[in-house]
Amino acid sequence: MKAHVTLIALIPWLATHLLAASIAKPNIVYILSDDLGYGDLGCYGANKVRTPNIDRLASQGCRFTDAHATGSVCTPTRYALLTGRYAWRQPGTGIAAGDTPALIKTGTTTLPSMLKAAGYKTGLVGKWHLGLGEAPHTDYNGEIKPGPLELGFDDAFFIPATGDRVPCVFVENHRVVGYDPADPIHVSYGKKIGTDPTGADPGVKLKIQGGPGHQDTVVNGIPRIGFMTGGKAARWVDEEIADTLTAQAIKFIEANQAGPFFLYLATHDIHEPMVPAQRFRGTSGCGWRGDVIHQLDWCVGEVLATLERLKLSDNTLVIFTSDNGGAIKDTYDDGTNALHSLQAPNGLLRGGKGSLYEGGHREPFLVRWPGHIKPGTTSGALIGHVDALATFAALTGQSLDPADAPDSYNVLPALLGETDAPPPRDHLVLQNNGQTPLALRQGDWILIEKGGRARSTNEKLSPPAPRCELYNLAVDPAQKSDLSTREPGRVEALAARLQDIRTKGHSRP
């Protein structure tokens, strides 16, 4: 009888799955913002900044309240998003430098390669931050590969690492945009090279001041992480980055409007250095941090307007989210720092970027697909960015080899608002930057390792397991009450589950 009831419960999910497989393949626009917190949008409670274009995705689609980046910093999240594999499974996938070799091995099944096999034109615009070229270090003089094109993208216009790291140049497909062979580019993350001024030099003229770790080569009046020389004609102007990337995103949509297409738009905003275009300055009342949120909202609005102009909105699935939690930082001083915290990045959530608390990885997540996703809805389903690969495979009728996307779950029923479907996930593993510590979310509970990794007591390992924290998010979403000492049995069970996931090397059923 129990099996009979279970089968009946699965029928709505099966119907949704079959429906998705039978419809025309939609265009997909996946917008991954940078360092935007759970509380930084109007539709998630922001009461200072204004985000009407992004909020429109919520009113016209579904707003998720329990969606997570699997890393609380950039590179691990992006690795998991594109591979369907937790980044902590591969050493060396922490925050990448600007000269890090390619982190994803050529031949790996990735989100773009899977969609390309399904007949999609695939495009990357924006931040890459997953390494480029071959060991020992990226060479920016000549063809730069392997890179996005070797991993399934047809076209790529991107920032190699981050806005605060050298080299400060755009790359299109395999070459630096505006490269001058008479002025070769050299990059160092060890010692100073070249004669360019640094942020630590006396009397150097700066647009904004750089704090510790951000006082190396000055580009466009802003000190960076790392040293570079050469490439003068190719160096970007920070105030123009949002306009440049938005134009490239529109160009890709226009060129591929016959569809189907997949656009991965990974914005620079709102990552530091936060340098808004002049027209956005002072518009938020929250300093330049709030102003670049307005700039981000404008970018999204331009992309949505393009879809509408080309009459593509009804056949385009749009997802908007962020790569990790927000943060109020003093890494740079733009003269408006005192105003930044007027907009609380993560609402009532504890922690922020770089933290295993909810503020580090719980993200805004908005999904719009007219005619398929009911407008103005909210979902509390537990999902992770790592789920994109398996979900889009199901959407486009693609099969995954068991070795592909080992940690990616098909959450399509949740995206489509199928409330009668089984929960897409019962657990999710979260990380900061490296392989430890980790956190395990299971149901309403989250176990957070402190300083190392949790172990069940039957493991024959030493030294003793580090202390863990335990929270019940259903009653304590702000994580004020650590229940680890009151619930030792639950700590033990969750630690054992986490160790099992580590040992197996996969978590996808």
> Known catalytic residues?
74, 129
Tokens of 429: 């593993």
Q: Residue 44 in contact with residue 360, Cβ under 8 Å?
A: no
Q: What residues does 439 pair with on adjacent strands?
A: 430, 448
CA distance 274 to 332: 9
Q: Residue 167 in contact with residue 98, Cβ under 8 Å?
A: yes
Q: Could you give the residue ranges of the DSSP H alpha helices within 39-178?
A: 52-60, 74-83, 111-117
E-state strands within 328-456:
332-333, 362-368, 377-379, 383-384, 427-431, 438-442, 445-449
CA distance 432 to 413: 28
CA distance 502 to 496: 10
CA distance 285 to 108: 45
Helix axes 388-395, 2-22, angle to 10 degrees: 70
- Look at the block and give the residue holding tokens 């957070």: 448
First to last CA, the chain: 24
Instruction: Residue 33: name the closest of 320, 294, 282, 433 by CA.
Output: 320
| Torsion-angle region of 172 (φ positive above 0: left; ψ -120 to 50: alpha; else: beta) | beta
Q: What is the dihedral of CA 197, 198, 199, 203, to 10 degrees?
A: -30
**DSSP line for 297-347:** HHHHHHHHHHHHHTT-GGGEEEEEEESS------SEE-S-HHHHTTS-TTT
Phi, psi of 311 (to 5 degrees): 60, 45
Q: Tell me, letter by letter, the H, E, C secondary structure of 135-166.
A: CCCCCCCCCCCCCHHHHCCCEEEEECCCCCEC
Peptide bond into 146 cis (omega under 30): yes
Q: Tell me, letter by letter, the H, E, C secondary structure of 6-22.
A: HHHHHHHHHHHHHHHHH
Q: Residue 287 in contact with residue 36, Cβ under 8 Å?
A: no
376 burial type by CB count under 10 A (0-12 exposed, 13-18 middle, 19+ buried): exposed
